[in-house]
Chain A
Amino acid sequence: MLIADSLDESGAIAAHFSAARTRVLAALTRQFFDLDMAEEAYQEACKRALERWPLQGIPRDPTAWLLLTGRNATIDRLRKDKRLVFKDALPDVPVEGGNIEADIAELIDTAELRDDVLRLMFMCCHPDLALQDQLALALKVIGGFSVDKIARAFVVKPKAMEQRITRAKKRAAAIATQLESPTLQERAARLKAVCVMAYLLFNEGYSASGGDVHIREELCDEAIRLVRLLIRLFPSQAEVMGLLALCLFQNSRRGARLTSDGRLVALEDQNRTLWDQIEIAEGRVLLEKALRHGRAGPYQIQAAIAATHCRAQQAEDTDWAEIERLYAALEQVQPSPVVSLNRAVALSKTSDAQTGLAYLASHATTLDNYLYFHATRASLLQSAGQFEQAIAAYEQALLLGPTGQEREHIHQQIGSCKKSEKNIVTV
């Protein structure tokens, strides 16, 4: 019994650490203008917490406790090292005894902390950094993932990942410490950039392009956590709510997307009873809440599309007319060839494959090197009974580096096209 309880406690302490991590690190980074020093300070604070919390109990405000302890420990060390004479506006608050929470309550300015966290996140999506480096850095700095785990997520050797993160961090940190408290416009721009990064992170986990499935799920969870934190900090941003809804709708299909041997199952073939209804319900509420703002941006519209799929109990029940309207709306606010491609698919469902093909034809030029463009076009041609052209399109798709599973699927389709073609000739 005693052993079980102490196990519970160490688990609870670890959970408090990771829950507090982003906020503490963000505030410490502003204090010391140095990310490495902030990370060391956080580590030191956790070390001291592990000594004290089991005896004194978990404090009411673990974030404040860790922040203050990390800050004081670092100031002490700097003074001892005589590396610099540290001066700041905060009074020294003894860590031993006393009611730390009450002492520090007024030191933590909610609005300031909000911008600190946003700054830390924004630092990770610096445009000079390659996309994968942005995600690796975000996982390390915001998520507190170990380098080993990040290396496994991206299927890279740990040593190489370590070097990449170190390089990226140096580059980003130099910029981040110069970031002033943002104006209204700057804050909006930072939020937008962080949302893009969070969604990329989610997709990195969601696309089954390799690596360990369990780690990929952790990437999705981390992305969702990051967006939740953004909503807590900036509660009335409709697009951030839309993004969370979108992630939740997609994540709800997690249990139905892969076969037991790790093969991807297409949306229309998924066992929909495996979709997580709790996540879907939460996504729906968030979307309703976002739409109240009356400014439907790209994340909200994509979430609405995902919601429409989630509403259909069977693939045949899908409201394609609604989906087609939503893709038309998305084309307005965020025009892109991929959006038009999806609209063409929706059109082929609401009317016929010919209509979809006609729509596709008017957008064809820009997507020549996109595998899914050719695969989708091939499938539409196949439905329209134009087998010879379908085979040509499938063959073009094969040239654009499909995964093993996609290659197999394409070959199957080519086979069935050839069969249908033969039947037509012989009949």
Chain B
Amino acid sequence: MQYAILIYSSEDIFGRLTDEEQEQALDKHRALQQELTGSGTLDAVAKLMDTSSAMTVRQTGENLLVLDGPFAETKEQLLGIYVIECETIDAAIEQAKKLPQGIAAYEVRPIGWGGGKIAVEDADS
């Protein structure tokens, strides 16, 4: 079964951490990615750009509108996503618990169906 771990936080938070704290948080991501890659259960991982680069397409009445900005102007935004393979939702929750807490919340959500692939450039390259 595939599960998505959706990362939600206020966009300002991560950048406000000290360099050291940012590294600590990233270490937890790297460790989880390494572990999942090792067991062959990491199907995709993606970090989304800041919502200042987002646009929203939406039908309003007769018109198809293309609007600047993210879908919802909320205090917490979708910042990134993991797609992992787990036996049970409990197992997926256990993985989400390994991610840095206090700076983001993690929505664990089973995937109905899927396809395609996400190729992400190496952030360090």
Across the two chains, which residue of chain A brings its CB closest to B125? A277
The CA of A317 and the CA of B14, in the complex, are separated in Å by 36
CB–CB B102/A228 < 8 A: no
CB–CB A110/B73 < 8 A: yes
Across the two chains, which residue of chain B brings its CB closest to A231? B52
Answer whether residue A415 sits at the interface, using C-beta atoms and an 8 A cutoff.
Answer: no
The A interface is mostly helix, strand or loop, or mixed, namely: helix
Residues of chain A in range 203-261 having any CB-CB distance to chain B below 8 Å: 221, 225, 228-229, 231-232, 235-236, 241, 244
CB–CB B123/A278 < 8 A: yes
CB–CB A8/B15 < 8 A: no
Across the two chains, which residue of chain B brings its CB closest to A224? B15
The CA of A278 and the CA of B21, in the complex, are separated in Å by 21
CB–CB B15/A277 < 8 A: no
CB–CB A289/B68 < 8 A: yes
Across the two chains, which residue of chain A brings its CB closest to B77? A232
Contacts of B50 in A (CB 8 A): 228, 282
Count contacts on A: residues with CB < 8 A to the other chain.
33
The CA of A241 and the CA of B52, in the complex, are separated in Å by 8
CB–CB B101/A282 < 8 A: no
Contacts of A8 in B (CB 8 A): 21, 24, 100-102
Answer whether residue A361 sits at the interface, using C-beta atoms and an 8 A cutoff.
Answer: no
Nearest CB on B from A149, distance (A): 14
Residues of chain A in range 276-292 having any CB-CB distance to chain B below 8 Å: 277-278, 281-282, 285-286, 289, 292
Answer whether residue A19 sits at the interface, using C-beta atoms and an 8 A cutoff.
Answer: yes
Across the two chains, which residue of chain B brings its CB closest to A9? B102
Answer whether residue A15 sits at the interface, using C-beta atoms and an 8 A cutoff.
Answer: yes
CB–CB A236/B69 < 8 A: yes
Complex interface bits, A337-371 against B, C-beta within 8 A gives 1, otherwise 0: 00000000000000000000000000000000000
Answer whether residue B88 sits at the interface, using C-beta atoms and an 8 A cutoff.
Answer: no
CB–CB B10/A19 < 8 A: yes
Answer whether residue B90 sits at the interface, using C-beta atoms and an 8 A cutoff.
Answer: no
Q: List 10 A-B contacts (CB under 8 A).
A: A11-B21, A12-B17, A15-B12, A15-B13, A16-B16, A225-B12, A244-B52, A278-B123, A289-B55, A289-B68
